[in-house]
Structure 1
Amino acid sequence: MYKILLALAAFSFLFGSINGQVKKPNIIIINLDDLGVGDVSAYKKGSLNTPNIDFLANNGVRFNKGYATSATCTPSRYALLTGLYPWKNSQAKILPGDAPLIIDTSLTTLPKVLKRANYTTAVVGKWHLGLGNGMIDWNKKILFAPSDVGFDYSFIMAATTDRVPTVYIENNKVVGLEEKDPLFVSYQQNFDNEPTAITHPQLMTKMKWHHGHNQSVHNGIPRIGFMKGGKNALWIDEDMNDIFLQKGLDFIQSSQDKLFFLYFALHQPHVPRVPHPRFVGTSGMGPRGDAILEADWCVGELIKKLKELKMLENTLIVFTSDNGPVLNDGYYDDAVEKVGKHTPFADLRGGKYSLYEAGTRVPFITYWKGVIKPGVSNAMVCQLDFTASFAHLLGLTLPAGDGENQLNALLGKSKKGRRDLMIEATGRLAYKYDDYVYIPPYKGSPIVETVQIENGNAPEDQLFNLKKDIGQKVNLAKSMESKLAFMKSKMDLLKN
């Protein structure tokens, strides 16, 4: 009897009082960009050392089957914030920097849910979900922005580091813009007399393009898209990590007396990889490895701040990545030449852009000091489930969505996670159920030639048992016809 009362008391302390009031933690989601499972040393697959990310993994739950919904950035970020499958939204694909906001402002989003529970909300870092309604004037207040989907504070880049505009946007306004030098952006055509990487290759003083990045040049680096003006507002790539970090720390500091949610969307190791000089050469793997170590240091500084403010015990931290890794993604930066024995893809097939496992199986860690016990989980979890799971934690109800309440799995209290999941890569779908994954036939080259990654295309059905064949080497479609039929029917049911 004494043990039962003790257990009830502990449960009450961690998750609420007798009247059902839930103890609410601060919530931080750290979402990296193109980071592979093998890039985090806690997974024991690669040769990089990431001690600060490892701190979260070794003192929290490290998931072996953690997924993004998509093998590219925009759709996976859409799912993370909305709890909806991105393939249901035709706009949820890799966006240009001047694309309109693709999240319907009437939707129930993760930050909106948390605001219902009196959280202060912020996004710092990469956005890439569109801004405005299709006609952005960068020189005025930008409507249809993070503030319209639930964020009280935002300090973001519009799209990616390799796309224009190369400016920061704070609370709907471009930072540092001067009225006498307005900013103009186009993805259709260049502005008169503006240089590009093709017309003025001598401007590429820091990095040269391999494929696709040959338009406007800024900070010695060629980008995608055309840009003119706004000189005082343009970022310096080397300082980006420090600026995002400081904005994140400032938000935490200012929110220490209230509940907060921070979506901390770091840009590493997406191209162009331009770490601060103090990190250059630290990995021995060139800019990609150096950028990952820079991001790891950033995670450590975040943890240090929480310790300093005595907030670590009341903060739930999720660490993950928007999709899997890629080496050469458009620049000559020695990512392929200097990778050495390091294995960003771990033992998985494919990578970014791919329906194979390395496209969507990503680093996935949850940490909450005193609540989450250290461990390793084989439960299938997905970023799609954050909204439903955190709503359950806070005792809130939600309209129907695609996310599931997987709170017990995320907190390490259950070994059971999702049974099934639909994943997406550049508009193509694959279906997971328990240990199996089914990839329908798709036309086209089986390899994304520019990045040398298998994309999952094949003229025939593909069926793999991931428990026995994590590298997806043995196609079981012909030898397991009943299982194949089952997977097809389940996939059709979910699609329709």
Structure 2
Amino acid sequence: MSFGFKPYLLLLLGALCHASTVANQPNILLLFSDDAGYADFGFQGSPTHQTPHLDSIANTGVRFTRAYVSGPVCSPSRAGLLSGKYQQFFGHGNNLPNPHPMGLPLDIKLMPEYLQELGYGTYMIGKWHLGIPEPYQPQNRGFDRFFGILEGARSYHKIKNPSLGKALVENGQRFQEEAGLYVTDLFGDKAIEFLNDHFDQDPNKPFFMYLSFTAPHSPMDAKEEDIHALDHVEFESEERKINAAMTLAMDREVGRILELLKARGELDNTMVIFLNDNGGAGRSNHSSNLPLRGHKSSMFEGGVRVPMLVSWPSGGIPKGVDFDGVTSSFDLLPTFIRMAGGSLSPDWELEGRDLMPYLRGDRVGDPHATLAWRFNGYKGRKALLHRGWKYINWEGSESLFHIESDPCEKKNLAKQNPNKVDTMRTMLLAWEANAMQPLWWWNKDYERKYALPPEELSSLPIHLTDNVN
């Protein structure tokens, strides 16, 4: 691991007292994009995707070069983020079908509930995808206010008579959609509304806002003005331009929120976090994960490794640096709790680590020596990352990569290292002993439609290709 100043080029992958007595608890703004490509941000070195406001977060904080999420698709990733646990341990290992009578199990305590107990106002805007029935909705899972969608995706424009899952809702009530709306802009409007209300009504109370954009998840709906704003940029396809325009709209809303925080005098004492929910979806939304291999739903780096930024000007986090330690999205919950003046109980069985000692330079090394993944149950695809090595079991086919020297996973070393394969398989099986079979199942329509590109299909054993394309 290194921790020092680096140029923002595309990654050359090679406490406090109890909350009631804390006067300077930081605000927390957690920004989440959806199906974005690893390469598709200015701070990642993209020559086409313009993200000046997200870049400003990188310039005033830390960019993580080895950040992972706990699942390769939308719903499991969110379950891990908000619970601080491996979601496979409570049965949320697959994407939640829509509609479905269940959701993230109600006995699992979530991030906003912990922060409410520490005195925070809690707000959510955007995509939920953790349960449609009322008991599972955000306003019943720790959020004081919610505006967004309950399913995983919808049109970015007005829908006539949408289902509850695709409707825009505010604390369980349908929102009246008007002609001309654009969902990304509306999410920004509502975030500003919620924050202004918070500052006016509870000026001495810290806030936690989870702003979960749907951009740039399909459908590929971009505003004409955003498309034309990129006319001066050369794209390899019109679809890539639309993806960039959707990302531009998201970045603009981030900028509006940052400007509001600055105007209210709250920006310096706000920890701002940005990350993506899983790897870019490839042909589904024309995202790019280069130079990583794979895409959303895969166990390759392109499926689980994500861009991530953290900035907190008054919090002792250095500016404009890269952090190379192995990090997971479920580290954010324990980090927030400790930042907010709380203590961590072993009874909570959180999987994450408090990142602040690493970011402030008080601790060196990787927050995690080992991370594991599983998607679609015991017979599905799974992976284990351990001290520079990565073992992948793709529905029975085993691969081994040395990620530190081969982050693009080009050379399968399984045949040359049978003992290492045996060891890592055993470690993964021990981890799986704590996992449940999924509470619901995933079908492969996504990969049948968008699939692996030809070069990925050719790398799989023949007996698997019928299953993924």
Where on the TM-score scale, by shorter chain, does this alignment land: which range? 0.7 to 0.9
> 1:97–1:238: structure 2 CA closer, same or farther, 3 Å change rule?
farther
Q: 1:424 aligns with which of 374, 393, 396?
A: 374
> 1:441–1:275: structure 2 CA closer, same or farther, 3 Å change rule?
closer
Q: TM-score, normalised by structure 1?
A: 0.73
Partner of 2:349: 401
| In structure 2, distance between residues paired with 1:117 and 1:18 | 8
Matched position secondary structure for 1:362: strand
Aligned positions, number: 389
Partner of 1:289: 244
> 1:465–1:127: structure 2 CA closer, same or farther, 3 Å change rule?
same
Matched position secondary structure for 2:335: helix
- Alpha-carbon deviation of 1:129? 0.7
1:426-472 Cα offsets, whole Å, 9 max, x none, are 542211112111112525xxxxxxxxxxxxxxx3x211111100110
1:358 and 2:306 matched: no
Partner of 1:175: 175
| In structure 2, distance between residues paired with 1:434 and 1:463 | 13
Q: 1:278 aligns with which of 225, 229, 234?
A: 225
1:42 and 2:26 matched: no
| In structure 1, distance between residues paired with 2:288 and 2:180 | 23
Partner of 2:259: 304
| In structure 2, distance between residues paired with 1:36 and 1:73 | 14
Partner of 2:403: 466
| In structure 1, distance between residues paired with 2:259 and 2:139 | 28
Unaligned runs of 5+ in 1: 1-14, 133-141, 177-232, 330-334, 337-342, 444-458
> 1:481–1:327: structure 2 CA closer, same or farther, 3 Å change rule?
closer
1:377 and 2:323 matched: yes
1:153 and 2:145 matched: yes
| In structure 1, distance between residues paired with 2:207 and 2:272 | 12
- Alpha-carbon deviation of 1:30? 0.3
1:81-126 Cα offsets, whole Å, 9 max, x none, are 1112122343442223322342233322110100110101011000
Partner of 1:390: 336
| In structure 1, distance between residues paired with 2:129 and 2:180 | 17
Say if 1:392 and 1:405, in contact at 8 Å, map to a contact too.
no
Bigger drift between 34-43 and 410-419 goes to 410-419
1:95 and 2:111 matched: no
- Alpha-carbon deviation of 1:491? 1.5
Say if 1:69 and 1:79, in contact at 8 Å, map to a contact too.
yes
| In structure 2, distance between residues paired with 1:17 and 1:148 | 28
| In structure 2, distance between residues paired with 1:75 and 1:118 | 28
Say if 1:33 and 1:266, in contact at 8 Å, map to a contact too.
yes
Partner of 2:216: 269
Say if 1:238 and 1:274, in contact at 8 Å, map to a contact too.
no
Matched position secondary structure for 1:328: helix
1:144 and 2:139 matched: no
| In structure 1, distance between residues paired with 2:116 and 2:210 | 13
Say if 2:390 and 2:403, in contact at 8 Å, map to a contact too.
yes
Counterpart residue type for residue 193 of structure 2: D
- Alpha-carbon deviation of 1:45? 5.1
Say if 1:349 and 1:472, in contact at 8 Å, map to a contact too.
yes
After the TM superposition, which residues 44-63 of structure 1 pair with which residues of structure 2 at under 5 Å, given as runs?
44=45, 47-63=48-64
> 1:129–1:491: structure 2 CA closer, same or farther, 3 Å change rule?
same
Say if 1:31 and 1:322, in contact at 8 Å, map to a contact too.
yes
- Alpha-carbon deviation of 1:316? 0.6
Higher radius of gyration, 1 or 2: 1
Say if 2:116 and 2:142, in contact at 8 Å, map to a contact too.
yes
Partner of 2:423: 486
1:252 and 2:195 matched: yes
Say if 1:266 and 1:295, in contact at 8 Å, map to a contact too.
yes
Partner of 1:438: 391
| In structure 2, distance between residues paired with 1:435 and 1:397 | 28
| In structure 2, distance between residues paired with 1:280 and 1:19 | 46
1:124 and 2:125 matched: yes
- Alpha-carbon deviation of 1:281? 3.1
Matched position secondary structure for 2:247: helix
Matched position secondary structure for 1:366: strand
| In structure 2, distance between residues paired with 1:412 and 1:321 | 23
| In structure 2, distance between residues paired with 1:344 and 1:160 | 21
- Alpha-carbon deviation of 1:46? 5.2
Say if 2:112 and 2:143, in contact at 8 Å, map to a contact too.
yes
- Alpha-carbon deviation of 1:20? 12
Partner of 1:213: none
| In structure 2, distance between residues paired with 1:143 and 1:108 | 13
- Alpha-carbon deviation of 1:323? 0.6
Say if 1:68 and 1:384, in contact at 8 Å, map to a contact too.
yes
After the TM superposition, which residues 5-24 of structure 1 pair with which residues of structure 2 at under 5 Å, given as runs?
16=16, 23-24=24-25
Say if 1:238 and 1:277, in contact at 8 Å, map to a contact too.
no
1:221-259 Cα offsets, whole Å, 9 max, x none, are xxxxxxxxxxxx5x7685111111011111111222121
Say if 1:125 and 1:155, in contact at 8 Å, map to a contact too.
yes
Say if 2:77 and 2:277, in contact at 8 Å, map to a contact too.
yes
| In structure 2, distance between residues paired with 1:18 and 1:388 | 15
- Alpha-carbon deviation of 1:368? 0.4
> 1:172–1:410: structure 2 CA closer, same or farther, 3 Å change rule?
farther
> 1:147–1:55: structure 2 CA closer, same or farther, 3 Å change rule?
same
Counterpart residue type for residue 487 of structure 1: M
- Alpha-carbon deviation of 1:276? 2.8
Say if 1:245 and 1:298, in contact at 8 Å, map to a contact too.
yes
Bigger drift between 78-87 and 61-70 goes to 78-87
| In structure 1, distance between residues paired with 2:359 and 2:290 | 25
> 1:241–1:104: structure 2 CA closer, same or farther, 3 Å change rule?
same
Say if 1:121 and 1:260, in contact at 8 Å, map to a contact too.
yes
1:333-355 Cα offsets, whole Å, 9 max, x none, are xx65xxxxxx8212100011111
Task: Give aligned-pair identity as a percent.
Answer: 26
| In structure 1, distance between residues paired with 2:407 and 2:98 | 36
| In structure 1, distance between residues paired with 2:181 and 2:402 | 43
> 1:67–1:367: structure 2 CA closer, same or farther, 3 Å change rule?
same
Matched position secondary structure for 1:463: strand
Say if 2:92 and 2:104, in contact at 8 Å, map to a contact too.
no
